[in-house]
Amino acid sequence: MNTHRSLAILALIPCLAAMSSPLLRAEVHPVDHYRDLRYPPLQPVQLPSVQRVELPNGLVVFLAENRELPVIHVCVRIRVGSRWEPLEKAGLAEMVGGVMRTGGSASWSRDRLDKELDRLGAELQIGISAPEMGQADLVVAKEGIDEGLSILSDLLRHPVFPEDRIEQAKTSKRGEILRRNQAPGLVAWAEFERAIFGKDSPYAHQPELATVNSIRRDDLVGFHHEFIHPGNMILGVWGDFQTEEMRTRIEKAFGTWPRSDQPRPQVPPVDSSAAERAGIYLIDNANLPQSLVFVGHLGGTLNDPDCPALHVMNTILGGFRSGRLWTKARNEGWSYGSYGVASTWYAGWDRPGIFFAYGETKADNTLRLLKTLRQEIVRMTQEEVSEEELTGARDGMQRRFPFEFDSTGKLIGRVLTYEDCGYPRDHLQRYQEGIAKVTRADVLRVAKHHLRPDRVVIVVAGNEKRFEEPLSTLGPVTRIDITIPKP
């Protein structure tokens, strides 16, 4: 027993010594309230050492060594997406990305490809699921990197687009279209975007049965030829490798791909009238037990000098579980559902985004929620926020920065995006510094300049018969028909 007691005391000695150290004593500051807690200043974000290489054919490559695991990650960012597809062929871009993977190449049939990837212990995905970006991702053990790069290059360069895989993709897309009204939140958001950008906008159009049926193999081949070439791609590689050796491997796998005569695609403009659009839109759905409400207007871009202050402003207004909107909804007990109540200043990289406030509530609180969203937006433009709100928002945003860069993959993703959109490599550091400098006066200034509470688009999805009063009491209402058009 004495021996065990002696061992326990010995084990405590390092802890007791640490507790008695002057350094630790200096860091202990008992407080009476959590608001009195003080934190040391955060260190600026440091990007890893990344080497940029450009091949003669125009392919830009970023390499970052990371020896934590014997694995190599390859990400190909492609400047392609639905914003460049013909309106009458909506759904084409996504189909090209999917069938490039499922259809294989002349050298790699689908079955042979899957077996080889299994043998290598590798994963390979290709997709075009965003309006402005396509992506291919390869994860492979370091011993299989040469084979993995060869397969990736071949699929990107020589897809065969077999008819059976195209028809399979079309069938899948038709089913998705026919089921889309089963997700009322996604429908409401899509109609909100269409109300702001315009239903035929490159940033808001959507596939329909007729557009999917019109797609032919030649459309996929032509779209691939126009957009998927070395000058329109950026490649990022990180993992367990020597930089110069990896550069040689990349040149071997991609260097023989000829430079394309296709120009780099220009960003489709946002309709100039989008900034002036306003109105009330209703998706009347008797099957919804609660209502979804979106209120907002056209936003801006991430390279706007006001962006740091706008994000601080939005955090105070509608930061999820911390902003004014959530606090009011919680205190009054009328927030309902999984969406909660919040707001977002969504800024695009190379085109304007959207500012929106949104919420979900019981049907008989619909107009109450809507009026509150509008009132809080107006209030933000009329008076300075409190010092406590400002400090809380800035500190919270700063503390979240490390989670944006807790992996090399996230860091490389940022680097690829900066390269694609022409942002400086230190954009994030500048943004972080900008957040720290935002003042109460800045928040009021950007709110007055950028928020337009008198020119908002309002989309409500819910059972109008259960609203506490008609939506038309707020102004003229445009009813949205979400019936799936027949082909």
Sheet with strand 279-284: strands edge to edge: 341-346, 354-362, 290-298, 457-462, 279-284, 477-479
- Round to whole Å and give the CA distance between 472 and 125: 48
Domain ranges, ordered by start, for the chain: 51-254, 272-479
Length of the chain measured in residues: 487
* CATH architecture observed for domain 51-254: 2-Layer Sandwich (3.30)
CA angle 270, 276, 280 (to 5 degrees): 110
**What's the confidence (pLDDT) of residue 428?**
87
Model confidence pLDDT, tens digit, residues 276-318: 999 999 999 999 989 999 999 999 999 999 999 999 999 999 9
Report the mean per-residue pLDDT for the chain: 90
Contact 170, 215 (CB under 8 A): yes
Question: Residue 116 corresponds to which amino acid?
Answer: E
**Which residue in this structure is represented by tokens 């006066």?**
441
Q: Provide, rounded to the nearest whole percent, the portion of the chain with pLDDT above 90.
A: 79
Q: State the distance between the two ends of the chain, measured CA to CA, in whole angstroms.
A: 84
Closest-CA residue to 475 (of 458, 453, 451, 452): 458
Contact 390, 312 (CB under 8 A): yes
Closest-CA residue to 117 (of 94, 150, 162): 150
Q: Say whether 272-479 and 51-254 share the same fold.
A: yes
Closest-CA residue to 439 (of 344, 317, 316, 309): 309
**What's the confidence (pLDDT) of residue 335?**
62
**What's the confidence (pLDDT) of residue 63?**
97
Contact 281, 458 (CB under 8 A): yes
Residue 161 has pLDDT above 50, yes or no: yes
Alpha carbon 319 to its chain centroid, in Å, reads: 17
Ramachandran assignment for 440, one of left (phi > 0), alpha (psi -120 to 50 degrees), beta (any other):
alpha
- Round to whole Å and give the CA distance between 42 and 397: 11
CATH annotation of 272-479: 3.30.830.10
Contact 257, 314 (CB under 8 A): no
Model confidence pLDDT, tens digit, residues 96-134: 999 999 999 999 998 999 999 999 999 999 999 889 999
**Which residue in this structure is represented by tokens 């995006």?**
417
According to DSSP, the residues that pair with 139 across neighbouring strands are: 73, 123
Question: Residue 451 corresponds to which amino acid?
Answer: L
Closest-CA residue to 416 (of 195, 186, 235): 235
**Highest-scoring range by mean pLDDT, 15-19, 176-180, 338-342:** 176-180
**What's the confidence (pLDDT) of residue 393?**
95
Residues near 376 by Cβ (< 8 Å), separated by ≥ 6? 317, 318, 324, 325, 328, 357
13 — pLDDT class (breaks 50, 70, 90) = very low
What is the mean pLDDT of the segment spanning 359-373?
93
Q: What is the 3-state secondary structure (H, E, C) of 90-149?
A: CCHHHHHHHHHHHHCECCCCHHHHHHHHHHHCCEEEEEEEECCEEEEEEEEEHHHHHHHH
DSSP letter for each residue of 237-279: EEESS-HHHHHHHHHHHHTTSPPPSSPPPPPPPPPGGGGG--E
Dihedral angle, C-alpha 365, 370, 376, 380, nearest 10 °: 170
- Round to whole Å and give the CA distance between 78 and 425: 19
Model confidence pLDDT, tens digit, residues 387-440: 999 999 999 998 888 777 778 888 899 899 999 999 998 898 899 999 999 999
**What's the confidence (pLDDT) of residue 12?**
35
φ and ψ of 415, to 5 deg: -60, -45
Q: How many Cβ atoms from other residues are within 10 Å of residue 364's Cβ?
A: 15
